[in-house]
Amino acid sequence: MIDPGFKKYIRDVLIIDLVLLISIALPFYVMMPVEYALSVVASLALTSTSSIVGFYFQNKYLHAPTEEFVSYVYGSMFFRLVGLLGAIVFILLITNFPQISFILSLFISYLCKSVLEIIFIHKKSTQRHEKS
């Protein structure tokens, strides 16, 4: 069974993606060649995957001892950043996506989802300390 907090997090990530699709990808699709909109969709998919993986580890190890929690959270953060960098390089090398729209939408999406992660970590850690 999936944790309700995890479901809520996935829902919020999808809401962010929908807002960014409407505000960034749709105007690109209407005014520019289709590659611009596709680059936004690719950046949203990358950041959503990274964010959901990160939240999974944070949620899984929330009740672990502090050293273990920090180790897994920062470890997953490092591997997610390396994986994201590899995916960015790979996508830019094999596709004809416009680099500026891809990187800019990636940055905006990463920033939004990082803020969402921080909010959820704060809520979870507050609940953790209240239970103790």
pLDDT > 90: percent of the chain: 49
Per-residue pLDDT at 77 exceeds 90: no
List all residues 6 or more positions away from 13 whose beta carbon is below 8 Å from its beta carbon. 48, 51, 52, 113, 116
Q: How many domains does the chain have?
A: 1
pLDDT band, residue 93 (cuts 50/70/90): very high
Per-residue pLDDT at 12:
94
Range of the structural domain that residue 119 is part of: 4-131
**Mean pLDDT across the chain:** 88
